[in-house]
Amino acid sequence: MRVLMLNFEYPPVGGGAATANKHLLEAFSKKNIDVDLITASEGKAKTVKLSKRITIHQLGIRKKRLHHWSAREFLTWTRKANKKMKHLLAENTYDLCHAWFSWPPGWLAWRHRKTLPYIVGLRGSDVPGFSARTKFLDPFIFKPLCRRVWKHAKAVIANSAGLRQLAQRTSQQTIGIIPNGVDLKHFTPAKNPGDGKKILCVSRLVPRKGIHHLIAALQYVPKAELTIIGEGRQEKELKELTKQLGLTQRVHFIGYVPRAKIAPYYRHAGIFVLPSSNEGMSNTLLEAIASGLAVIVTRTGGTEELVDGNGTVLRSTSPKAIARAITQMQHRQKLTKMQRRSREIAEQHSWNRVAQHYLEVYRECSSQ
């Protein structure tokens, strides 16, 4: 089987979808499948062989920021990806196209639907109603676009039940679920897990992640320390808030850390907090539970699907509500039980299992 993939994100460009794509390809490299991925480069265009059967075509688009996309960059990637797609379709015979995101990859797959059948993987920001950034355009542009792209797809796959529920507000069609996976060998619990005073958040620094609420919560949790890993447009604002609240000695901004070097930060912590207003299926949450951390999350997207005896799902993201949840976890015996339960849940989410689910979808859709 040969699959053509489209995704404008791939490490180091992008966030959760980039990481998921990388891990999925690594799992595919051990299976009987050929893949060509059209994606973006952080610099000049290049072609990289991940394995003998998996090729990554990275398009040069003069990316200014690794984790943020401008309208110009989207348009540039779409134009170049369309050209590259035509070239690969002329050279090779594919069984299926896998578009990550409804747009622009899904739209490109839809344009070539008469040549190649396609599936669409929903990631979060490509679903109307998910992002405040596109809410004014959703009714007039993105909802009609998604309905058209999804209607002609052989399958539409969300990464969580919550994201599927949101997508079905746009279209009532059948939408499957394949959750993200996690690298269980790289992310492992510490021999001596961190206590309830060591709090970690790994996230893009943008308003919808709710990190400002988490920082404010530390006012009500004496002696607790918060480590924040990530970068984004809210970084300056969050550092200023930390200073205003007198928390500079207890809130540590680490910045961007490559996935290959991030595991020790998880192992050092005891509690992971992600107070997002919107999520699909958070890769960082999966990494946290694989590392044996108790978790505090919000009732959104796929986050609460990963909480079952290993943490707390917040009804409110107010600083006092977050502080209350942290304080309740600081009892050592209770925390240890939650940390062990997290690893048990993570072991159900290996990338090998995720890859097998996708292969089953590929085979079914390519034979229709």
Q: Which residues pair with residue 298 across a beta bridge? A: 314
Q: Is the same domain home to 111 and 52?
A: yes
Yes or no: say if 291 and 267 are a contact pair by the CB < 8 Å rule.
Answer: yes
Structurally, the chain folds into a number of domains equal to: 2
How far is 304 from 281, CA to CA, in rounded Å? 9
How far is 179 from 176, CA to CA, in rounded Å? 10
Please report whether residue 168 resides in a domain.
yes
Q: Is the same domain home to 29 and 134?
A: yes
Q: How far is CA 24 from CA 293, 304, 356, in A?
A: 24, 23, 10
Please report whether residue 103 resides in a domain.
yes
Please report whether residue 187 resides in a domain.
no
Spans of the chain below 50 pLDDT:
none
Q: What is the CATH number of the domain that holds 257?
A: 3.40.50.2000
Q: Is the same domain home to 219 and 248?
A: yes
Q: What is the pLDDT of residue 23?
A: 93
Q: Is the same domain home to 217 and 99?
A: no
Please report whether residue 190 resides in a domain.
no
How far is 265 from 288, CA to CA, in rounded Å? 10
Q: Is the same domain home to 104 and 132?
A: yes
The tokens describing 189, both together, are 């619990």
Q: Is the same domain home to 118 and 56?
A: yes
Q: How far is CA 352 from CA 5, 25, 347, 357, in A?
A: 18, 10, 11, 9
Query: C-alpha angle with apex 25: 22 to 28, nearest 5 degrees?
Result: 155
Q: Is the same domain home to 214 and 328?
A: yes
Yes or no: say if 182 and 365 are a contact pair by the CB < 8 Å rule.
Answer: no
Please report whether residue 146 resides in a domain.
yes
Q: Is the same domain home to 144 and 209?
A: no
Q: Is the same domain home to 25 and 37?
A: yes
Q: Is the same domain home to 143 and 221?
A: no
How far is 359 from 132, CA to CA, in rounded Å? 34
Yes or no: say if 28 and 1 are a contact pair by the CB < 8 Å rule.
Answer: no
Q: What is the pLDDT of residue 301?
A: 66
How far is 325 from 307, CA to CA, in rounded Å? 14
Yes or no: say if 12 and 41 are a contact pair by the CB < 8 Å rule.
Answer: no
pTM (two decimals) = 0.81
Q: Which domain holds residue 144?
A: 2-181+350-366
Burial of 306 (0-12, 13-18, 19+ CB in 10 A): buried
Yes or no: say if 110 and 149 are a contact pair by the CB < 8 Å rule.
Answer: yes
Q: Is the same domain home to 71 and 211?
A: no
CB atoms within 10 A of CB 164: 20
Please report whether residue 191 resides in a domain.
no
Output DSSP code: residue 142: I
Please report whether residue 33 resides in a domain.
yes
Q: Is the same domain home to 235 and 173?
A: no
Please report whether residue 186 resides in a domain.
no
